[in-house]
């Protein structure tokens, strides 16, 4: 056989395919867990549905389009609104588009599966607005994504294309974990704290619930219980999610997967250097101190570093930006390319 | 929706399944009996399982419209079309003969122009041809073959004989649908494959690959072959991607390629990699902004230079479209005699040339009986269906013809054959044609069968998918059926 060569454009699309799938899965997890969290909190707590929009970094878009922040508006916006570039349906549409344009490199079954996932969501997204069928819909989307991950691992040669899939997945995953940590420790807890009188903090019974749900959103609750013997508490949870080397969705684990895949690609120096920088930052973080002060800033910085990894990957292997622009013009405003660049800014900076 | 052959009436058209009322042709007997045995529910079930297969396999095509480009599911009728092996053998030889002659013609036109000097083809036709590329003069592509991939449209008249309607020598499409149709039929009617000896068609992608490898300018074991597509909004994008996938080669867009020192390279994650053969699915005029349309961003600057230097092979070669012209078409039987010294095995549809004064007068006097076609449109655009057109439409068209007679030719309305199509009430006859695909490199290859296109609207002759046509799986079976 000849040496297999991979086009930069194909690498780019397949990387985005993987990111969009991971993003859809993460959003589904998040919505599912968030719904269940809100049902556990006392009525009248000021933690509202808007927080969910903030996690995905699309609050500006949302606030422009909606006056109210009720459950229906938020869920519609995040689930089925195709004007929202990071809604689950939009992500799946982009994933499908990227898959459709790389059909020659991914297994045929994978394309069928992605196509089915998109068609299923398109048909059923409307039903997910109400609470009853929502859980089932989101579980189904998560299951489809998980099947797909397994299918790719089992049916695709672990070649360059597969490395780009893993890069996209782990980068998106690391980013999402930082967001979820952010929400637990920075958005939810202080809001609750602020509502109780100083003498009688409302937080006590609910802190546990919040951290349990944070773990659940990353399928990490069970693993946490096996790993940490102490009761669920903020310090251990944040440490676990940032620094546990074995948890597949911890930031440090995702970064080490990135390092592993980057080693196999040519011209990887800058990207690897950037990953090392982020690894260093996460592994040396003093979580107890950060929880007292500075976690918000730390997470912001970490997200910037993760964004930089994407930047180095794009510089090393994707088509030069100039030709990207030409390509957009030539395909009369190629929707995928536009949304891609928009997503880079909204999701990572 | 039960099928009752007694109520199936193709009128006086040649029907592919039923010869005289309620009496199926020999090769279609098993099929006809089998279809009639299925209950309404069962037929409905087969139909929806085909629709589902097409949807999940993502077999689609794109329609240009004012509301934007829409990716549509491929329209497919589940009843296969059957052609006997004996008849196909002859047809297949005729197709090969035709492409060999056409390639001799194209090569002659860009080199010695003997056929013009000998006045077999009038020289003024060439002077006015919009598909003649002066940039290609003197070029000698591998094996002197310019059109490596050809899609020839065949129809059957009332006599059941195949006639050639046109030769598509530029970027013919449809072969992926031919292949996918077979896959869908296997899912829908697996039982029928037990009772018929059907010639397999799966070989096409490897035949295409071998042909492309054979025209590589560098003698390598593994030449780098790519499929060049205009991008995802092209109506045939599905096919471009499909063929690249089936051959295991790269699917590239213009921006993936770059020309340096008159050689073509693609941008890969390992840097630039030399490209030897390009199966291009972009029209000539968009191939290279240095040579043709200056503002085309679909192509690759310098590509023509690289090709003319012999550093890359292009299939089909630029300029091959000179023979894909409905006026030149009328001279193909003469070319076969001139270049090959053979009698044409496949007849043309009788045609009238408007460039000839006598024939022009005949055409204008008989517009209500004729189909008039422009020389260079494809996809069924820009033609006049005389018998169906209004008086006003005919008068307007007559003015167009008189203004530019070179650009038009006319043919009597051929009675396209019919085949049964599944509709709500059962089976009804619809008009069909056939597009086989022919490859020529070192050798020739003809697909067993081809893509059968169906005019899904009752009585209509328009089979183009861009205008609401559908398709059928096409079976070449041994005579006697079994």
CB contact under 8 A, A119 and B55: yes
CB contact under 8 A, B58 and A111: yes
β-strand B437-440 against B23-24: which pairing, if any? unpaired
Instruction: Name the residue of chain B whose CA is nearest to A11's CA.
Output: B269
CB contact under 8 A, B242 and A103: yes
User: Which letter does DSSP use for residue B131 in this model?
Assistant: T
The residue segments making up the domain with residue A119 are 9-156
Q: Do both B146 and B217 map to the same domain?
A: yes
The token pair at A183 is 């929400």
CB contact under 8 A, B269 and A112: no
CA distances from A52 to A21, A27, A59, B109, B412 (A): 19, 10, 9, 69, 68
CB contact under 8 A, A331 and B232: yes
CB contact under 8 A, A112 and B58: yes
The token pair at A169 is 């997945």
Residue A338 included in any domain: no
The residue segments making up the domain with residue B381 are 352-412
Q: Do both A166 and A137 map to the same domain?
A: no
β-partners of residue B257 are B266
pLDDT of res. A203: 53
pLDDT of res. A343: 31
CA distance B188 to chain A (A): 18
> If DSSP codes are grouped into helix, strand and coil, which group holds residue A69?
coil
Residue B360 included in any domain: yes
B328, B121 Cβ separation under 8 angstroms: yes
> If DSSP codes are grouped into helix, strand and coil, which group holds residue B469?
strand
CB contact under 8 A, B269 and A100: no
β-partners of residue B453 are B433, B471
- Does B69 or B100 have the greater pLDDT score? B100
CA–CA distance, A189 with B397 (Å, rounded to integer): 77
Q: Do both A192 and A253 map to the same domain?
A: yes
Q: Do both B143 and B205 map to the same domain?
A: yes
Residue A329 included in any domain: no
The token pair at A20 is 């969009």
CA–CA distance, B115 with B122 (Å, rounded to integer): 9
Q: Residue B125: enclosing H or E segment and its boundaries? A: helix B123-127
Pick from B364, B393, B412: which residue ends a domain? Answer: B412
Question: CB contact, 8 Å: B73 with chain A?
Answer: no
Residue A327 included in any domain: no
Q: State the CB neighbour count (10 A cutoff) for residue A146.
A: 12
The pLDDT confidence band at residue B54, using thresholds 50, 70 and 90, is confident
pLDDT of res. B194: 87
User: Is 90 exceeded by the pLDDT of residue B93?
Assistant: yes
A180, A201 Cβ separation under 8 angstroms: no
CB contact under 8 A, A266 and B269: yes
Q: Do both B119 and B208 map to the same domain?
A: yes
Residue B422 included in any domain: no
B284, B307 Cβ separation under 8 angstroms: no
B466, B235 Cβ separation under 8 angstroms: yes
Q: Do both A33 and A69 map to the same domain?
A: yes
List CB contacts of A73: < 8 A, sequence separation 6 or more: A49, A66
Question: CB contact, 8 Å: B271 with chain A?
Answer: yes
CA distance B298 to chain A (A): 7
Selecting from A5, A104, A116 the residue whose C-beta is nearest the C-beta of B245 gives A104
- For an interface test with B, give the residue of A161, A330, A335 to mutate (most B CBs within 10 A): A330
DSSP A17-53: HHHHHHHHHHHHHHHHHHHHHHHHSPTT-S--THHHH
Q: Do both A171 and A304 map to the same domain?
A: yes
pLDDT along chain A (349 residues), means of 10: 73 95 93 81 72 82 86 91 91 92 88 93 89 89 95 91 96 93 72 53 67 86 82 87 94 97 94 97 94 88 96 90 42 34 29
Selecting from A1, A104, A115 the residue whose C-beta is nearest the C-beta of B58 gives A115
B16, B82 Cβ separation under 8 angstroms: yes
Tell me the per-residue pLDDT of B183-233, one tens digit each, with 9 for 90 and over. 999 999 998 888 888 999 999 999 999 999 999 999 877 899 999 999 887
What average pLDDT does range B394-401 have in this prediction? 92
Q: Do both A230 and A288 map to the same domain?
A: yes
Q: Do both A146 and A168 map to the same domain?
A: no
Q: Do both A209 and A294 map to the same domain?
A: yes
Q: Do both B314 and B226 map to the same domain?
A: yes
DSSP B58-85: T-EEEE--TT--EEEEPPEEEEEEEEEH
The token pair at B238 is 């599905």
Residue A206, φ and ψ in degrees, nearest 5: -95, -20
Selecting from A2, A100, A332 the residue whose C-beta is nearest the C-beta of B58 gives A100
A218, A22 Cβ separation under 8 angstroms: no
CATH number where B403 lies? 3.30.1490.270
Q: Residue A55: enclosing H or E segment and its boundaries? A: helix A50-55
Q: Do both B134 and B233 map to the same domain?
A: yes
Q: Do both A248 and A304 map to the same domain?
A: yes
**Spatial strand order in the sheet of B263-268:** B257-260, B263-268, B271-274
Q: Which residues of A touch B232 (CB under 8 A)?
A: 97, 100-101, 331, 334
Residues 240-269 of B with CB under 8 A from A: 241-242, 244-245, 249-256, 266-269
Pick from A114, A132, A156: which residue ends a domain? Answer: A156
What angle in degrees, to the nearest 10, is found between the helix axes of A251-262 and A269-283? 160
CB contact under 8 A, A332 and B224: no
Which residue shows structure tokens 């074995």? A246
Q: What ipTM describes this predicted complex?
A: 0.72
Selecting from B56, B221, B269 the residue whose C-beta is nearest the C-beta of A6 gives B269
SS3 content of chain A, % helix, strand, coil (to 5): 75, 0, 25
CB contact under 8 A, B256 and A266: no
Q: Do both B217 and B285 map to the same domain?
A: yes
Q: Do both B272 and B246 map to the same domain?
A: yes
CA distance A331 to chain B (A): 7
- DSSP E strand stretches across chain A: none
Q: Do both A120 and A197 map to the same domain?
A: no
Q: Which residues of A touch B53 (CB under 8 A)?
A: none
Q: Do both B209 and B263 map to the same domain?
A: yes
Domain count, chain B: 2
What average pLDDT does range B53-79 have in this prediction? 74
Tell me the per-residue pLDDT of B242-258, one tens digit each, with 9 for 90 and over. 999 899 899 999 999 99
Residue B207 included in any domain: yes
What average pLDDT does range B396-421 have in this prediction? 90
Residue count of chain A: 349
> If DSSP codes are grouped into helix, strand and coil, which group holds residue B477?
strand
Residue A287 included in any domain: yes
CB contact under 8 A, A9 and B224: no
The token pair at B209 is 């690959």
A221, A212 Cβ separation under 8 angstroms: yes
User: Which letter does DSSP use for residue B231 in this model?
Assistant: -
Domain count, chain A: 2
Q: Do both B104 and B211 map to the same domain?
A: yes
Question: CB contact, 8 Å: B297 with chain A?
Answer: yes
CA A209 to chain centre: 22
> If DSSP codes are grouped into helix, strand and coil, which group holds residue A211?
helix
CA–CA distance, B158 with B416 (Å, rounded to integer): 7
Tell me the per-residue pLDDT of B427-437, one tens digit each, with 9 for 90 and over. 999 999 999 99
Q: Residue A341: enclosing H or E segment and its boundaries? A: helix A335-348
CA distance A120 to chain B (A): 11
Question: CB contact, 8 Å: B298 with chain A?
Answer: yes
CA–CA distance, B58 with B60 (Å, rounded to integer): 6
pLDDT of res. A331: 38
CB contact under 8 A, B267 and A8: yes
pLDDT of res. A341: 34
Instruction: Name the residue of chain B whose CA is nearest to A109's CA.
Output: B57
CA distance B241 to chain A (A): 6
Residue A328 included in any domain: no
Q: Residue B153: enclosing H or E segment and its boundaries? A: strand B149-156
Instruction: Name the residue of chain A whose CA is nearest to B255's CA.
Output: A323
pLDDT of res. A71: 86
Residue A336 included in any domain: no
> If DSSP codes are grouped into helix, strand and coil, which group holds residue B263?
strand
- For an interface test with B, give the residue of A8, A123, A319, A332 to mutate (most B CBs within 10 A): A8
Rounded (5°) CA angle A19-B266-A100: 35
Q: CB pairs below 8 Å between A and B: how many? A: 92
Q: Do both B204 and B271 map to the same domain?
A: yes
Residue A344 included in any domain: no
B446, B435 Cβ separation under 8 angstroms: no
CB contact under 8 A, A160 and B271: no
Q: Do both B264 and B401 map to the same domain?
A: no
- Does B273 or A347 have the greater pLDDT score? B273
CA distances from A15 to A9, B272, B323 (A): 10, 20, 43
Q: Do both A136 and A21 map to the same domain?
A: yes
Maximal C-alpha separation, chain A: 74
CA distance B57 to chain A (A): 6
The token pair at A222 is 């069970």
Q: Do both B324 and B357 map to the same domain?
A: no
User: Which letter does DSSP use for residue B286 in this model?
Assistant: G
β-strand B277-280 against B225-228: which pairing, if any? parallel
CB contact under 8 A, B231 and A330: yes
CATH number where B323 lies? 3.40.50.11290
CA–CA distance, B26 with B419 (Å, rounded to integer): 15
Residue B376 included in any domain: yes
Residue count of chain B: 482
Q: Which residues of B touch A338 (CB under 8 A)?
A: none
The token pair at A19 is 């990111």
B146, B107 Cβ separation under 8 angstroms: yes
Q: Do both A186 and A281 map to the same domain?
A: yes
β-partners of residue B271 are B268
pLDDT of res. A345: 27
Residue B79, φ and ψ in degrees, nearest 5: -80, 115
Share of chain B above pLDDT 90, in %: 70
β-partners of residue B414 are none
> If DSSP codes are grouped into helix, strand and coil, which group holds residue B247?
helix
Pick from A156, A176, A204: which residue ends a domain? Answer: A156
Residue B268, φ and ψ in degrees, nearest 5: -115, 175
Q: Which residues of A touch B268 (CB under 8 A)?
A: 5-8
Q: Do both A110 and A134 map to the same domain?
A: yes
Q: Kindly report whether the peptide bond that precedes residue B316 is cis, defined as omega within 30 degrees of 0.
A: yes
Instruction: Name the residue of chain A whose CA is nearest to B258's CA.
Output: A323
What average pLDDT does range B25-34 have in this prediction? 92
β-partners of residue B384 are B372
Residues 189-248 of B with CB under 8 A from A: 221-222, 224, 231-233, 241-242, 244-245
CA distance A50 to chain B (A): 34
CB contact under 8 A, A7 and B268: yes
β-strand B60-63 against B70-73: which pairing, if any? antiparallel
Residues of A engaging B, defined by a Cβ cutoff of 8 Å: 1-2, 5-11, 97, 100-101, 103-105, 108, 111-112, 115-116, 119, 160, 265-267, 316-317, 319, 323, 326-327, 329-332, 334
Instruction: Name the residue of chain A whose CA is nearest to B56's CA.
Output: A112
Residue A17 included in any domain: yes
pLDDT of res. B70: 63
């Amino acid at each position: 056989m000849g040496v297999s060569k991979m086009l930069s454009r194909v690498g780019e699309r397949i990387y985005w395919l993987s990111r969009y799938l991971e993003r859809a899965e993460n959003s589904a997890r998040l919505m599912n867990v968030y719904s269940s969290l809100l049902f556990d909190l006392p009525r009248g707590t000021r933690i509202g549905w808007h927080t969910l929009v903030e996690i995905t970094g699309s609050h500006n878009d949302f606030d422009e389009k909606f006056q109210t922040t009720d459950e229906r508006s938020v869920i519609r916006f995040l689930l089925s609104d195709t004007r929202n570039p990071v809604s689950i349906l939009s992500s799946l549409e982009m994933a499908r588009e990227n898959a459709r344009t790389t059909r020659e490199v991914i297994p045929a079954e994978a394309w069928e599966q992605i196509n089915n996932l998109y068609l299923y969501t398109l048909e059923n997204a409307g039903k997910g607005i109400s609470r009853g069928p929502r859980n089932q819909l989101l579980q189904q989307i998560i299951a489809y994504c998980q099947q797909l991950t397994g299918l790719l691992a089992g049916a695709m040669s672990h070649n360059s294309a597969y490395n780009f899939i893993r890069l996209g997945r782990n980068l998106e995953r690391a980013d999402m974990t930082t967001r979820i940590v952010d929400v637990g420790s920075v958005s939810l807890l202080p809001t609750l704290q602020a509502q109780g009188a100083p003498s009688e903090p409302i937080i006590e019974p609910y802190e546990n619930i919040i951290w349990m749900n944070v773990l659940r959103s990353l399928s990490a609750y069970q693993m946490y219980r096996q790993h940490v013997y102490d009761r669920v508490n903020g310090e251990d949870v944040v440490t676990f999610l940032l620094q546990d080397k074995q948890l597949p969705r911890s930031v440090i684990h995702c970064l080490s997967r990135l390092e592993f895949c980057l080693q196999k690609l040519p011209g990887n120096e800058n990207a690897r250097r950037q990953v090392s920088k982020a690894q260093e930052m996460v592994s040396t973080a003093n979580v107890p101190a950060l929880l007292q002060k500075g976690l918000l800033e730390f997470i912001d910085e970490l997200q910037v570093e993760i964004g930089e990894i994407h930047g180095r990957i794009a510089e090393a292997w994707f088509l030069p930006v100039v030709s990207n622009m030409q390509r957009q013009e030539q395909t009369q405003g190629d929707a995928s390319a536009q949304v891609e660049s928009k997503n880079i800014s909204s999701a990572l900076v | 929706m039960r099928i009752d052959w007694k109520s199936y009436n193709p009128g006086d058209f040649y029907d592919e399944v039923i010869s005289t009322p309620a009496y199926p042709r020999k090769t279609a007997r098993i099929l006809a009996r089998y279809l009639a045995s299925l209950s309404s529910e069962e037929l409905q079930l087969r139909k929806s399982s085909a629709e589902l297969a097409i949807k999940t396999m993502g077999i689609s095509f794109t329609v240009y419209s004012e509301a934007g480009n829409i990716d549509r599911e491929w329209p497919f009728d589940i009843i296969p079309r059957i052609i006997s092996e004996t008849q196909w053998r002859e047809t297949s030889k005729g197709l090969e003969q035709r492409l060999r002659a056409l390639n001799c013609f194209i090569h002659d036109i860009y080199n010695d122009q003997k056929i013009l000097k000998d006045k077999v083809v009038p020289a003024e036709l060439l002077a006015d041809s919009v598909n003649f590329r002066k940039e290609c003069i003197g070029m000698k592509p591998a094996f002197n073959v310019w059109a490596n991939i050809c899609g020839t449209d065949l129809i059957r008249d009332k006599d059941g004989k195949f006639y050639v309607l046109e030769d598509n020598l530029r970027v013919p499409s449809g072969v992926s649908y031919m292949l996918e149709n077979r896959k869908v039929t296997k899912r829908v009617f697996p039982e029928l494959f037990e009772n018929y000896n059907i010639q397999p068609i799966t070989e096409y992608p490897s035949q295409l690959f071998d042909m492309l490898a054979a025209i590589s300018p560098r003698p390598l074991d593994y030449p780098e072959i790519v499929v060049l597509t205009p991008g995802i909004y092209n109506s045939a994008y599905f096919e471009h991607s499909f063929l690249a996938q089936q051959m295991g080669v790269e699917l590239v867009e213009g921006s993936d390629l770059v020309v340096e020192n008159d050689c073509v390279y693609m941008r890969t994650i390992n840097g630039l990699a030399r490209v030897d053969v390009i199966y291009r699915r972009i029209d000539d005029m968009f191939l290279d902004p240095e040579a043709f349309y200056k503002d085309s961003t679909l192509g690759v600057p310098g590509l023509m230079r690289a090709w003319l230097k012999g550093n890359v092979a292009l299939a089909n070669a630029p300029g091959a479209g000179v023979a894909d012209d409905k006026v030149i078409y009328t001279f193909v039987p003469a070319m076969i005699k001139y270049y090959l010294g053979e009698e044409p095995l496949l007849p043309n549809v009788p045609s009238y040339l408007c460039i000839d004064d006598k024939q022009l007068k005949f055409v204008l006097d008989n517009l209500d009986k004729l189909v008039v076609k422009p020389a260079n449109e494809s996809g069924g655009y820009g033609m006049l269906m005389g018998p169906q057109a209004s008086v006003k439409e005919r008068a307007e068209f007559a003015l167009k013809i008189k203004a530019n007679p070179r650009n038009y030719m006319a043919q009597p309305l051929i009675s396209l054959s019919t085949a049964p199509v599944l509709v709500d009430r059962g089976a009804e006859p619809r008009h069909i044609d056939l597009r086989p695909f022919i490859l020529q490199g070192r050798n020739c290859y003809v697909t067993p069968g081809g893509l059968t296109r169906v005019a899904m609207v009752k009585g209509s002759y328009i089979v183009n998918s861009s205008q609401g046509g559908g398709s059928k799986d096409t079976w070449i079976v041994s005579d006697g059926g079994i």
